[in-house]
Structure formats: C-alpha cells, structure tokens
Amino acid sequence: MLILGIESSCDETGVALVESGGAAVPVLRSHALFSQVDMHQAYGGVVPELASRDHIRRVLPLTELVLRDAGCRLADVDVVAFTRGPGLAGALLVGAGVACALGAALERPVLGVHHLEGHLLSPFLSADPPEFPFVALLVSGGHTQLMRVDGVGRYAILGETIDDAAGEAFDKSAKLMGLGYPGGPALSRLAEQGDPTAFKLPRPLLHSGNLDFSFAGLKTAVLTQAKKLGDQLEAAGSTAKADLAASTQAAIVEVLLKKSLAALKETGLRRLVVAGGVGANRELRRQLNLACAQQGVRVHYPELHLCTDNGAMIAMAAAMRLQAGVQQANWVYAFDVKPRWPLDALEVN
Ligand code: KG4
Ligand code: ZN
C-alpha cells in the first residue's frame, strides 16, 4: 500500500511516499521538503499568513517531485495522509484541502494525522527502529512532553512543560543573543566554542519530584545575563557570547536528561525514543547516549534530517495507524483541522 503524506502545520512544506505491506515496518520511498525559514527570518519568527500562502505554492510541485523520485504515478497512491493538527490553522488548512482534493479526484481515502504522533513515530523510519513499549521524549518548537508509549495510539503523558517548550527556550534565548530565527541550531553551533559552566543559569523544576518542565524562567535569566554583559557580548575576541550559548544549552540539556532518566526509572522501561526538532541537538544526544549506555537503556532517534518537520513522518504515522488497525482511512472529503489537539486525546475509529 502506497501512502502519500503531506505536512504543512508550520513553516515547512513536506511531502513523502511511504510503502507498507504485511507486518513489516513501512518503508520510505521518497520525500521532499521546502523550508520557509529564509522567508520568515526577516520578521524574527513565523508569519502565519505568509506560511499558508507559501504552502499553497509548494505542495503540488513537491508532490510531483516525490512521485517522480519514487517512479510512481499519482494513480498509484492508495491513501492520502495529511497533518490535521496541532499547528497554524491556515497552514493546516492548505495541507488538508489539498489532501482531500487529491483523495476525491483519485477516489482514494484520506487520513488526518496528529503532527506529534508523526514526530513520535519518526524513529521507525531509521535503520534501527525501536520496539514498543518505550518512554518518549518529545521535544519540538511547540511541545515538550515525556510519554509512555505502549503501541500505536497508546500514549500516556507522564509530564510536560507548563510554559515554554524546549525548542522555544532555544529559540527565544538565541533571539536575545541576536542569533536570528530559528535560533536552536545557531545557538547549539555557537555553544560548541563556549564554556557550559561559565554562567549559572536556572534548571527549572529539576527537583520538582514530577516529570513536568518549565523553561519560561530560563529566557529571563539569559536576558538578565545578556544585559549584564552589555557590549562584552559582541566584543571582538570575547568568548562571552559563546559561553552564554553553552551555558543556556547546558541548562536545557540537563533538565531534559534528568527528567528522561526519571521517567525511565518511574516506568521501569529500558528504551527511550527522542523525537522532535530539539532531538537534533548534538549535546543532548551525546549526554543521553552516555547516561543511557551506563544504565543499559537503548536510545533511538530519528535520522538527523527527519528530526524537524517533514512529510515522511506523517506518511509513516498514517501507515502505522492503518497497519495496527487503530484507524481507518475515510472516504469523506469534508475536512477540519485541529490547531490545538492534545496527543493523549487522539481518538481511535
Ligand atoms: O519539531 P520541529 O521542527 O517543529 C515543531 O513541531 O515545533 O522543531 C523545531 C524546533 C525549533 O525550536 C528549533 O530551534 C529546534 O527545534 N531545533 C534545535 C536544533 N535543531 C532544531 N534546537 C536545538 N539544537 C538543534 N540542533
Ligand atoms: Zn514539529
């Protein structure tokens, strides 16, 4: 069965083809991505209306590209999957509208996918896919959650952020340091040249006794520190900016690491899956790999290029839902989107 997946929840248009058959893990046939980062950079963040318009421009050419790459025709597609939420309403409507129009034209069923389930299942696209059950650390630009995952559609939230997400903490701190948008990758690159112990920054909720996170206070601490440093932050030959970047990254990584280990302890599980954009962070991976190796825990990540938003994870999540029998694709082409949609409220039909 050939599944076309369309992702358009934020600032990346992603399209992919995944093939599934029998009980084997579905495989990625081809995928293509267009990132709008350059367009939004001038505004310091995503402009929703511009995002929607650009998704409209990109989605069909990307669909043609993935079909060509896979050597397939549109008529070969069996199911059209799209991101139904959460995300920007207008951006989601583009993917949903195009998917339902394609479904109706091709007389094929459609399936609306939860964006975070896409991230969560994206490590199944790697050469070394995980096995259920596992603890998942989902760290994206909009969400930070620890979950117990017992199977497709069986997700229990163990803890989550009460304010900013980890990606947001990276992005907002980076913005304060003048590192542009999205700042996560830039901040982590700069951090490689800095001293992570140079500045004492808060580790929010580290000892809260539960698995919740809070990152809003961190950006205030970074701002206070940046103000204190003043001109020194940009002075030639000064390592202050790299030191602040490294200290910020160290604070975020320590909280994510300790809470993940606590979740493994609490559930007694020996497998950790890390997904979402922040899962691309090298320092997070280094520290998680080290700690998990010491404790005999297996860690799985998506391939680096599939950590951030993409169509492959949407096609994969649809394929796995269909394979597990937790959802059927439907033949109704009236659609809605869910800009807010908690993962543990995912319905089964
Ligand atoms: O999962 P994602 O693509 O989008 C959402 O669903 O939100 O995640 C994007 C987030 C951004 O906040 C970005 O700064 C962050 O992931 N990110 C990183 C890195 N690469 C992406 N944060 C830290 N280090 C990275 N290498
Ligand atoms: Zn995402």
Question: Residue 78, class by beta-carbon neighbours within 10 Å (0-12 exposed, 13-18 middle, 19+ buried)?
Answer: middle
Question: Which stretches of the chain are assigned E, i.e. beta strand?
Answer: 2-7, 12-19, 27-35, 79-85, 110-114, 134-139, 144-151, 154-160, 271-275, 298-300
The stretch 152-179 carries a mean pLDDT of: 96
CA-closest candidate to residue 171, choices 14, 308, 52: 308
Atom 21, ligand 1: residue with shortest CA distance: 277
Question: Would you say the CB of residue 281 lies under 6 angstroms from ligand 1?
Answer: yes
Residue 280 is predicted with a pLDDT of: 97
Interval 203-214: pLDDT, tens:
989 999 999 999
Helix, strand and coil in the chain, % to nearest 5: 45, 20, 35
Q: What is the largest CA-CA distance in the chain?
A: 63
Question: Would you say the CB of residue 279 lies under 6 angstroms from ligand 1?
Answer: no
Q: 27-35 and 79-85: which strand pairing?
A: unpaired
Question: Would you say the CB of residue 277 lies under 6 angstroms from ligand 1?
Answer: yes
Residue 216, pLDDT above cutoff 90: yes
Question: Would you say the CB of residue 185 lies under 6 angstroms from ligand 1?
Answer: yes
> Mean pLDDT over all residues of the chain?
96
Residue 349 is predicted with a pLDDT of: 58
Residue 284 is predicted with a pLDDT of: 98
**Domains of the chain, earliest start first:** 2-122+307-345 (3.30.420.40), 132-301 (3.30.420.40)
Residue 345 is predicted with a pLDDT of: 83
| Torsion region of 300: left, alpha or beta (phi above 0 gives left; psi -120 to 50 gives alpha) | beta
Residue 129 is predicted with a pLDDT of: 95
CA-closest candidate to residue 117, choices 252, 12, 5, 212: 5
CA distance 329 to 75: 17
